[in-house]
């Protein structure tokens, strides 16, 4: 017998409003801190819903946001999907031509835009017929700055005067609720749609003890952008648990994050490693009280072990999580498995530094180059496939990409992983980044981690460059720390790699650069370097004869 109602987002907010009317939602803004309660939040989402009806936005339209993390952006998180419309979160850091493509591809009806991002949106729209489908722009705030975008109104006037009650429709769980585009480091961005059922099941799994649970005693601050896969689902989970929300506003600096953690008593926060590296650096010279903070979620890229140790020293548990846009996004969380508490500290940190244990509700398999499932011995590796209730089955309007990335109901993640005896997943590389040299694999990720662990290296990345004899050879790009002699550094790094890895893993070249190019989500953009070096096939003779695979 099926359950009585479909799995939709509305009950999460209904419960928070009824049980926790006075719990706060706090937001850093250009003007200072704004705060109100779930009760007022709920009234404003109803006003937003009524305003969209009033403005003639069809009840199945796609409605986009182009915003930082703040309370009004959060109003759209429930205010749009619970009316039946689809919330499309656009990443404003993407290049203009990607934004043009995305707005056109999604056929957005209305765009909510932050005043500080207005110029960026205008730039993307410039001369583009693609924005023709957009019927209206709403600038977040209480007035409209000078703009070419038309017709335009401001958010407060848009919702003002509307009823604070709304006749919320009973929706099917298959109704699209959300949408994001993957950042497209390999070609055009791909649209990923989230149904109510996907977001509901993702929320419930996040709320399980082996997910990232949050309850009415928590103060939750998503630093991960709200345009990046629903801020990893945290606004939904925090509401489901009745937690206080804290939003860090436009471009928060480490100092802003430190103040919010201290002053609002943040207990759970989440972001990519670079954010926390920034906070760690800030803490070198500044006293920060982290006593309220229990859990720091780190994902998007691998969490360095040094970061886990740093936060352990401050009594904050760093939970390493892995996910993808196609998975709404959480796939695994690196909790320490029951029974492993007796391991020595170093081994515990090593386990926690892996991408973790598959989230309850999902299944995975790992397939090697010969099409066989790998052994769970921590050594074998292959491509990770996943499936489950919050994993997408297809991309939006992209049949050719579907054929590549989906197989018999499984999502092919493109991540190359090993699995240890305890079931911990460890990402060895991205399928497109792994270096194939003389028929053997070299992990670019491992080399990068080794280089970046050196004190004098600010950033480093490693790519495979075409080679006549070995098909590909590794080349390292290194950003030396301030005042560091590049030649001496190269010699040190060669020694370091030489000690740790087989000879044929040694990069053929160490190239000094000022900065590693980054994608719109802050990850290293190897495509840029690969394009630059694609024609510079390394020639025979550059690799010492004894450096061939299998001879070490």
Catalytic residue among 23, 45, 65, 182: 182
* Annotated active-site residue in 14, 168, 376, 441: 441
- Whose Cβ is closer to ligand ADP: residue 47's or residue 355's? 355
Whole-angstrom distance, CA of residue 265 vs CA of residue 262? 5
Catalytic hit among 436, 518, 523, 527: 436
The residue behind tokens 């055009």 is 188
Which of helix, strand or coil describes residue 154?
strand
The least CB distance from residue 360 to ligand ADP, in Å, is 18
Smaller CB separation from ligand ADP, 120 or 430: 430
Q: Which residues of 6-45 are buried (b: 16+ CB within 10 A; e: fewer)?
A: bbbbbebbeebbeebeebbbbbbbeeeeeeebbbbbbbbb
Shortest reach from residue 387's CB to ligand ADP, in Å? 15
Report yes or no: 240 and 12 within 8 Å, Cβ to Cβ: yes
Dist. CA 8–CA 303, nearest whole Å: 33
Give least dist CB 55 to ligand ADP, A: 31
Shortest spacing between CB 323 and ligand ADP, in angstroms: 6
Which residues of this chain interact with ligand ADP, rule CB under 6 A?
182-183, 185, 229, 299-302, 320-325, 329, 355, 413-415, 427, 430, 521, 523
Note if 441 is an active site residue: yes
Distance CA 445, CA 428 (A): 6
- Which is closer to ligand ADP, CB of 389 or CB of 414? 414
Rounded to whole angstroms, the Cα distance separating 62 from 537 reads: 46
Query: Whole-number minimum distance, CB 273 to ligand ADP, in Å?
Result: 8
Could you give the C-alpha distances from 144 to 17, 54, 121, 141, in angstroms and in order? 31, 20, 14, 8
State yes or no: is 182 an active-site residue: yes
Secondary element (H or E) of residue 298 = strand 295-298
Residue placing its CB nearer to ligand ADP in the complex, 415 or 450: 415
Q: Are 65 and 88 in contact (CB under 8 A)?
A: yes
> Closest approach of Cβ 334 to ligand ADP, in Å?
8
Contacts of 14 (CB under 8 A, 6+ apart): none
Q: In angstroms, give the least distance from the CB of 79 to ligand ADP.
A: 25
The dihedrals phi and psi of 276, each to the nearest 5 degrees, come to: -75, -30
Q: Which is nearer to ligand ADP, 271 or 329 (CB)?
A: 329
Q: Nearer Cβ to ligand ADP, position 184 or 248?
A: 184
- Give the residue among 224, 444, 180, 535 at the shortest CA–CA distance from 328: 180
Of the two residues 70 and 320, which places its CB atom closer to ligand ADP in the complex?
320
- Which CB atom, from 20 or from 181, has the smaller least distance to ligand ADP? 181
Taken in order 510, 512, 515, 519, the sign of the CA dihedral is: negative
Tell me how far apart the alpha carbons of residues 389 and 395 are, in angstroms, rounded to a whole number: 16
Q: Check if 521 is active-site.
A: no
Identify the active-site residue in 17, 193, 326, 450: 326
Q: How far apart are CA 310 and CA 152, in angstroms?
A: 47
Contact between 358 and 332 under an 8 Å Cβ cutoff? The reply is yes
- In whole angstroms, the minimum distance from the beta carbon of 461 to ligand ADP comes to 14
Residue 201, phi then psi, degrees to nearest 5: -70, -35
What are the catalytic residues?
182, 326, 436, 441
């Amino acid at each position: 017998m099926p359950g009585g109602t479909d799995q939709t987002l509305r009950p999460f907010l209904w419960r928070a409003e009824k049980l926790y009317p006075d719990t706060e939602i706090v937001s850093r803004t250009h003007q200072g801190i704004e705060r109100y309660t779930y009760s007022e939040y709920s009234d404003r989402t109803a006003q937003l819903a009524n305003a969209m009806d009033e403005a003639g936005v069809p009840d199945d339209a796609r409605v986009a946001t182009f915003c930082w993390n703040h309370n009004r952006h959060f109003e759209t998180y429930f205010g749009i999907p619970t009316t039946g419309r689809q919330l499309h979160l656009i990443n404003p850091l993407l290049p203009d031509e990607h934004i043009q493509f995305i707005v056109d591809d999604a056929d957005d009806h209305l765009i909510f835009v932050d005043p500080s991002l207005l110029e960026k949106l205008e730039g993307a729209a410039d001369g583009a017929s693609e924005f023709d489908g957009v019927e209206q722009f709403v600038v977040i705030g209480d007035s409209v700055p000078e703009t070419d975008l038309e017709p335009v109104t401001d958010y407060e006037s848009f919702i003002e005067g509307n009823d604070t009650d709304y006749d919320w429709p009973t929706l099917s769980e298959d109704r699209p609720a959300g949408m994001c585009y993957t950042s497209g480091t390999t070609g055009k961005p791909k649209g990923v749609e989230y149904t109510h059922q996907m977001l509901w099941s993702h929320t419930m799994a996040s709320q399980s003890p082996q997910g990232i649970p949050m309850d009415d005693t928590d103060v939750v601050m998503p630093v991960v952008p709200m345009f990046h896969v629903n801020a990893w689902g945290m606004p939904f989970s925090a509401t489901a648990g009745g937690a206080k929300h804290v939003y860090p506003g436009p471009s928060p600096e480490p100092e802003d994050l430190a103040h919010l953690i201290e002053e609002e008593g943040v207990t759970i926060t989440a972001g990519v490693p670079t954010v926390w590296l920034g906070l760690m650096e800030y803490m070198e010279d500044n006293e920060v009280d982290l006593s309220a903070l229990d859990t720091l979620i780190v994902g998007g890229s691998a969490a360095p072990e040094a970061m886990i140790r740093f936060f352990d020293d401050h009594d904050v548990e760093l939970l390493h999580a892995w996910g993808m846009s196609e998975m709404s996004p959480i796939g695994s969380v690196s909790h320490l498995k029951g029974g492993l508490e007796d391991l020595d500290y170093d081994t515990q940190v090593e386990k926690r530094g892996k991408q973790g244990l598959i989230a309850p509700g999902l299944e995975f398999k790992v397939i090697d180059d010969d099409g066989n499932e790998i052994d769970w011995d921590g050594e074998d590796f292959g491509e990770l496939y996943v499936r489950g209730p919050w994993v997408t089955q297809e991309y939006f309007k992209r049949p050719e990409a579907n054929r590549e990335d989906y197989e018999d109901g499984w999502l092919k993640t493109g991540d190359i992983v090993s699995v240890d005896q305890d079931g911990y997943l460890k990402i060895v590389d991205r399928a497109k980044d792994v270096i194939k040299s003389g028929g053997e694999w070299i992990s670019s990720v491992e080399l990068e981690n080794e280089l970046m662990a050196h004190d004098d290296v600010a950033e480093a990345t490693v790519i495979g460059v075409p080679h006549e004899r070995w098909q590909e050879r590794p080349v390292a790009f290194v950003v030396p720390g301030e005042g560091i002699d590049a030649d001496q550094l190269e010699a040190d790094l060669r020694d370091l790699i030489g000690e740790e890895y087989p000879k044929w893993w040694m990069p053929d070249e160490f190239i000094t650069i000022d900065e590693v190019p980054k994608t719109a989500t802050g990850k290293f953009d190897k495509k840029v370097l690969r394009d630059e070096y694609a024609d510079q096939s390394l020639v025979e003779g550059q690799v010492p004869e004894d450096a061939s695979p299998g001879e070490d």
